[in-house]
């Protein structure tokens, strides 16, 4: 799997999908935001920023500016991968807020505003109140990522965050299944690999092969 492949959105929460934007889902490590182009592609696939906005920000960016923003995004990602790994297995509380101060500072830079527009769904025509954002510079691309992280940390119980049981897989996910029985990032990736490995092991044992 290479970065040219679509990014993986398997975590059941977008904030954790961002943390999974660097991963080893099969055998080879992949970083989907290793540069500015990768960051724009990931944001579009995540539907966090409209294609028109991405085109506009690309056009106004100075040489190397998007790569610099991507580096900041990677720093944010590594900081919160470490945070989630350290706190996974228990709910967050007031005692954890001090560690989240950098995220709150980033959120405070947002320039969101409300606008009425035509409703995009439903059978009857009507109006819908939308939250929009002023995109002052390419650095503002960090804001929807910060929002996704904040929603993940406030809406999910870190007791339900698991690491995929694939031997080489580094992906995490929120287990929303009944009985919290999910084991794999995806049955199509690690689940099938585990099935195939178990099948080979049963065949080997039935033949009396040595381990």
Please name which of 190, 156, 169 lies closest in space to residue 14, comparing C-alpha atoms: 156
Sign of CA dihedral 36, 42, 44, 47: negative
Q: Which domains, and CATH codes, for the chain?
A: 14-108+138-207 (1.10.3300.10)
In order of 14, 103, 114, 136, 179, the CA distances from 143 in angstroms are 14, 10, 16, 11, 35
- Tell me: the pLDDT tens digits for 104-160? 999 999 999 999 998 877 666 789 999 999 999 999 999 999 999 999 999 999 999
- Tell me: the pLDDT tens digits for 153-193? 999 999 999 999 988 889 999 999 999 999 988 888 786 77
Give me the DSSP letters along 36-77: HHHHHHHHHHTTSS-HHHHHHHHHHPPTTHHHHHHHHHHHHH
Q: Quickly count: other Cβ atoms within 10 Å of residue 133's Cβ.
A: 15
- Tell me: the pLDDT tens digits for 6-29? 899 999 999 999 999 998 876 788
pTM for this prediction: 0.86
């Amino acid at each position: 799997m290479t970065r040219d492949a679509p990014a993986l959105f398997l975590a059941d929460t977008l904030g954790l999908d961002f943390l999974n934007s660097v991963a080893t889902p099969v055998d080879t490590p992949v970083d989907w935001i290793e540069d500015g182009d990768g960051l724009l592609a990931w944001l579009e696939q995540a539907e966090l920023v409209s294609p028109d906005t991405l085109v506009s920000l690309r056009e106004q960016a100075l040489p190397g500016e998007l790569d610099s923003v991507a580096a900041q995004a990677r720093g944010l990602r590594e900081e919160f991968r470490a945070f989630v790994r350290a706190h996974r297995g228990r709910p967050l509380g007031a005692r954890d807020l001090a560690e989240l101060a950098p995220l709150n500072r980033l959120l405070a830079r947002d320039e969101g505003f409300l606008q009425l527009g035509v409703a995009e769904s439903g059978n009857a025509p009507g109006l819908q109140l939308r939250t929009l954002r002023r995109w002052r510079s390419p650095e503002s691309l960090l804001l929807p990522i910060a929002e996704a992280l904040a929603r993940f940390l406030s809406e999910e119980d870190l007791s339900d965050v698991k690491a995929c049981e694939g031997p080489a897989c580094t992906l995490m996910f929120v287990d929303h299944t009944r009985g919290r029985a999910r084991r794999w990032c995806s049955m199509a990736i690690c689940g099938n690999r585990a099935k195939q490995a178990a099948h080979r092991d049963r065949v080997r044992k039935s033949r009396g092969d040595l381990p």
